[in-house]
Structure 1
Amino acid sequence: MRASPASNLVLFDGPVPELAPNVEATTIADACREAGLAFLEGARGGWGKLELAAWLVGSYRPICAPMAEDASGILLVLPSGTAHAPIRAGAVEGLIELVAVAATSALAELARGETAPIAEAMRDRAIASAQGPRSLVWVPADRPRLRLEARLMSLFAVDYLLRSDAYTTDLLVCGACDEVNFDGAERACARCQDRGRPSHIRETGGGDAAAEVAGEGNETDAPVRTA
């Protein structure tokens, strides 16, 4: 599993989330991509409840804005360490697998220049704006009852909105084994080559996601109890 952020990258000292000192938008995007790929890698490796909990605490939450809503719909900041309701341990493995399959399919869409997954992240309010050093930036939003799939895709959405070109030039989604990496869309899948079988790289295309998105369940009370 890839290394996780050592500390929170987003601070909440006021009503508007702010990036921590010396944290740039690219720092958030790098951490989001790393956390998203770590989940997909873990899903292929047979993650269970403990691994998911470790990912939520170590990789996901340090780069998220923990948000809640009151009755009038005003966004509120949750106290650090707020616990979430658990789900049955026996259902976790299946949930992780289903979420990984759905996310891989969504990433293949992004590689083709389709922006529906980004529009969905916005509709789900799985991403939120935070004050960066020079301007507002996107960060994942940790909301109560946000689907695990939405949490995972929020990571890739934040990364995509900063550097969408990487998703049409560098993103590889293997149609044979569902390997996902950013080593280059035109390269063959190393996992399939190691196993002596042909890889089928899903077709890619171009497009300006931010401009297109502007025009456009597996629900759980956050997947596991971590407090």
Structure 2
Amino acid sequence: MNYSYLFSKNDAISYAILASFNAETSRTISKEAIGTANDLTNYQLNKFFVVINADLMQVSGDQPCYLEEVKTGAWTAFNLETTTLQKIALLYLNRSSLYTALVYRFFYDNLYTKREYIVANYMSSSAFYRSLDQLEVVLKKNHFYTSSTLFKDKEFTIRLHLFQLYYTMYNTLTPPFESLNDLISNLINTIQPHLPTDLRPTEVTKLATFFTNLDITPVQSS
């Protein structure tokens, strides 16, 4: 699933550019094609080239991932793997004001006042309230509240879509809520002896994500 609708406008464009390289076997695309696909001028393209390489530097491991204009008028992506793209997506998600608003909306609005949350996340009041208003519009536009199963309950739908969001974005990379790590580990260790077989790593991740989503704010009936 693609959750780039939660990214800032520029980060969403950066992600779209990198995703296009990941889909290209040669890992080489002309600047003209990139500009046309993303409605960017040559000046804007050059700015994104610098920004994307800076972002890739943040998520690269021992083998650096980067874009380079090896041939005039075309960019080539080096060492761009699916995992790197997932790390970039998580970087963009975590620095998104919409995501900050989403976390408050579904996890913390019964624990903290808006003022406390704004201070804790170093946001301006206007930016936070604007993000909260925009969040509802974006979520509705991207069918976040629309049931994708035969079960139409609103709260079930939200919990399911939050589970899908966190499992997609964080799976194999890092736990979404580090403060809950010890509690979740204890729960899984308690459950494990009562299961017929040992949990596989992917099952542990799914169960941990499920436990995290148990803590979301109950949905109020409209």
The alignment's TM-score, normalised by the length of structure 2, stands at 0.28
Higher Cα Rg, which structure: 2
Structure having the higher helix fraction is: 2
User: Which protein has greater RCO, CA pairs closer than 8 Å, 6+ apart?
Assistant: 1
